[in-house]
Structure 1
Amino acid sequence: MGAQPAVRGSYWITTFGCQMNKADSERMAGILETMGYAPGSDEHSADLVLYNTCTIRDNAEQKVYSYLGRQAQRKRLNPHLTLVVAGCVAQQEGEALLRRVPELDLVMGPQHANRLGTLLEQVELGQQVVATGEHHILEDLTTPRRDSGSCAWVNVIYGCNERCTYCVVPAVRGKEQSRLPEAIRLEIEGLAAQGFKEITLLGQNIDAYGRDLPGITPEGRRQHTLTDLLHHIHGVEGIERIRFATSHPRYFTERLIDACADLSKVCEHFHIPFQSGDNDVLKAMARGYTVERYRRIIERIRVRMPEASISADVIVGFPGETDAQFRHTLDLIEEIGFDLVNTAAYSPRPGTPAADWPGQLSETVKVERLQELNALVERTARARSARYLGRVEEVLVEGANPKNPGQLMGRTRTNRLTFFPDEGQGLGALVPVRIEETRSFSLSGRSLAPALRH
């Protein structure tokens, strides 16, 4: 048995932003624990504080600076505190972050998450480190510290090659890098051995998986696609559910839809952002598809999987968006009937083309449109939830309801958050639940013992 690492103190990680950031944080927590750090009780007493940041919207970025100001004050009183900024703000700002917050020890972009240990060793030698250069993301053998005991994120492709005119992600996360299918399956087999029941394959643009990997089939198509990957991992014993996100309508194929319908472990839930319901706005965004193309994707899904839930992302107030174009977005939401839509008012991001365009809308107009949009999304979600009333749904137990310790919480295969009384079903149990109450974004019911599988 190898020697235990020296105890270095406690750590605290605060994560902002997307699922990719959450997965990166779990990996960095695993590295810190391998180094001898232990989870801290709060960020105001930890010996190492790491902010894993998001720059997709300005308010997320400003929140990071607010947090950093408090930690900088701590560091002036306690020079042994190690202060790290990781993620997209770190990549975007680089050395400018050090000028703004000179108390920082380490600034590192998302491509460097698996180098955290090496970078911290440089910090321990007294260096102030900035790691934002282009970096090939190697297979990382560190075991992440998973926040859930039943569901796990699995990165399958890093970076993004798209050039949406509003989005800073390609600049901060780098070019697409797909992991090899064998390595992905090996990680999933390890998760199954640890008792995980559900995995979510992650990518900034997951439908692009494999296009940077070599290999052509005899039929003349790419050998490595998301469809092929789903087939490759489907047989892993112990994994009961497979999800994937985030999809791009430009690359979402009928072959992928058919695979999802045919493979029993793939859940009936699709997250496919559409961003706008107007073709001229989509063209200005450089999204590479039309509303008609998006509509055909949803129609095909509902032919193959009538009960599938559909979620999406949408932006209102894009430069030059007219009221009529905004109404087209509302019309599409009403027509499709989404189960959930993540909404945002357009936020100009540094270095993106749209940030400098004429026709920027006032905050007043953006807020008004966002409020109208959110009201429609809530009504649509409530109508979609109503279909569950009286049904029996398979729910995977993810833990206790933090607001009611007498209840368990988990998700249906269609990704609806569901609460039901705790009758001793353990973490990771698949429980049949009769739905007795529906709300816009969650369900409640009663379990029909015994659990389906455990």
Structure 2
Amino acid sequence: MPASRRYHITTFGCQMNKADSERMAGILEDMGFTWEEEPNAADLIIYNTCTIRDNAEQKVYSYLGRQAKRKQEDPHLTLVVAGCVAQQEGEQLLRRVPELDLVMGPQHANRLGELLEQVFSGSQVVATEPVHIMEDITKPRRDSTVTAWVNVIYGCNERCTYCVVPNVRGVEQSRPPEAIREEMVELGRQGYKEVTLLGQNIDAYGRDLPGVTPEGRHQHTLTDLLYTVHDVPGIERIRFATSHPRYFTERLIRACAELPKVCEHFHIPFQSGDNEVLKAMGRGYTQEKYRRIIEIIRSYMPDAAISADAIVGFPGETESQFENTLKLVDEIGFDQLNTAAYSPRPGTPAALWESQLSEEVKSDRLQRLNHLVATKAAERSQRYLGRVEEVLVEAQNEKNPDQVMGRTRSNRLTFFPGDIQTLQGKLVPVLITEARAFSLSGHLLGESTRLDASSAAAVLP
């Protein structure tokens, strides 16, 4: 056990990892540890890792190398690798970095306390075996006092040919709706205003829970969950991510339109705009089906923001197939798009295919896609000019202390002059005066202005 108990967690990757890090921080604080901003001053360091892309993995190894050297001089330092790289590499990590004390996969985040007790009693521990994820009674140490993540389903049963997530996060395990609601009730009591429900494939929520309706559908679905948690006191906004087009239903879209607290923002990855590439990826839908989903969303909520993920340079992707992706992006007009060049991941089918594209081709396509994304996002942003948007104030603008920052219901980052002490956690009306591709600026309207939370925006005359 370290004499002074200071910990530091560095988090790589997705929102799921961020939520896992908050839970691990909560466990450490229950154990008497305190947060340390400076890694080199901490007695216990956790790298919560991501293996979606090679560059994130390599960054982990460079960080680890520096701390391993430090541990050679200070044997009391406790070094932990958690998350997806830990799950994927397991004992190989110990061979590569023998200074490590604990290697633990994402399914073991809730067990951090007991695993560390084994470490402090002299063991070097690897925890990567599949487990049933126990309902966690630890309170996360959340990074924000305004918005919070709430895990609703762990793991993924999909088998996309490029993706390592099912291998490292395990099979789908849904949390009971009562436990999710209970966690949200507690968040509402603590003053949180916004909750994002999280799942690697959130539309699969409930498939593994018992019970079917008389009509023969699963009794617990994401749609049902939204109705279950919608009236939690204190919670003003609800978001969810990440969706899969294969399971995205009109029933879910209708619920989002009907429930005032559910924000008009949908994150639905499409990955490619070409059907042959989608088939090779094992995605289980066509670009036509994806377009229909967006059409239905916009028929219910014309102003809804759509964000997505896309991969370029998938093995065998031709120039004309890539142009189909450009065409889809141009015609749909996304508010935001996370883009990546294909990166072969260990243990995935696509990594073994001989039709790998050169780094030059992948880089060129990524650049062309990013240029189009920025152009379309800037066009989409123009609709906010002159409108009054409801903004939930989250923090001070780090680049300008005279400004605060928050998000609109459509998830657009918005900056405006204001005092964080009086505004943090409040839903306020902001007149938008400047619209950039991925963010907005404006000014706060007087107390007399009121916004109906169920409407996307008000337009000034």
TM-score if structure 1 supplies the norm length?
0.98
Mapping 1:282-321, distance limit 5 Å:
282-321=278-317
Which residue matches 1:429?
426
Which residue matches 1:183?
179
Which residue matches 2:390?
394
Deviations 1:266-317 (A, max 9, x none): 0000000000000000000000000010000000000000000000000000
Greater alpha carbon shift after TM alignment, 418-427 vs 77-86: 418-427
Deviations 1:166-206 (A, max 9, x none): 00000000000000000000000000000000000000000
Q: Give the 3 Å change call, closer, same or farther, for CA 15–235 of structure 1 in structure 2.
A: same
Does the aligned pair in 2 maintain the 1:153–1:199 contact within 8 Å? yes
Which residue matches 1:76?
72
Matching residue's letter, 1:186: E
Does the aligned pair in 2 maintain the 1:94–1:107 contact within 8 Å? yes
Deviations 1:303-346 (A, max 9, x none): 00000000000000000000000000000000000000000000
Give the C-alpha shift of residue 7 in structure 1: 7.7
Does the aligned pair in 1 maintain the 2:391–2:408 contact within 8 Å? yes
How far apart are the structure 1 equivalents of 2:450 and 2:398? 24
Give the C-alpha shift of residue 48 in structure 1: 0.4
Among 232, 239, 242, the alignment partner of 1:236 is 232
Segments of structure 2 that go 5 or more residues without pairing to the other structure are 454-461
Does the aligned pair in 1 maintain the 2:264–2:305 contact within 8 Å? yes
Which residue matches 2:442?
445
Mapping 1:27-426, distance limit 5 Å:
27-423=23-419, 425-426=422-423
Q: Give the 3 Å change call, closer, same or farther, for CA 6–57 of structure 1 in structure 2.
A: closer
How far apart are the structure 2 equivalents of 1:452 and 1:409? 19
RMSD, aligned CA: 1.4
Deviations 1:367-397 (A, max 9, x none): 0000000000000110011110010000001
Does the aligned pair in 2 maintain the 1:277–1:332 contact within 8 Å? yes
Deviations 1:390-409 (A, max 9, x none): 10000001010111111100
Match of 2:407, SS?
Answer: strand
Give the C-alpha shift of residue 8 in structure 1: 4.8
Moved over 6 A (4+): none
How far apart are the structure 2 equivalents of 1:139 and 1:6? 28
Give the C-alpha shift of residue 41 in structure 1: 2.7
How far apart are the structure 2 equivalents of 1:35 and 1:220? 46
Does the aligned pair in 1 maintain the 2:393–2:426 contact within 8 Å? yes
Give the C-alpha shift of residue 452 in structure 1: 5.5
Q: Give the 3 Å change call, closer, same or farther, for CA 7–399 of structure 1 in structure 2.
A: farther
The number of residue pairs the alignment matches comes to 450
Matching residue's letter, 1:376: L
How far apart are the structure 1 equivalents of 2:390 and 2:264? 12
Q: Give the 3 Å change call, closer, same or farther, for CA 7–411 of structure 1 in structure 2.
A: farther
Deviations 1:12-54 (A, max 9, x none): 0000000000000000000000000000131111000000000
Q: Give the 3 Å change call, closer, same or farther, for CA 167–196 of structure 1 in structure 2.
A: same
Identity %, equivalent residues: 74
How far apart are the structure 2 equivalents of 1:225 and 1:447? 39
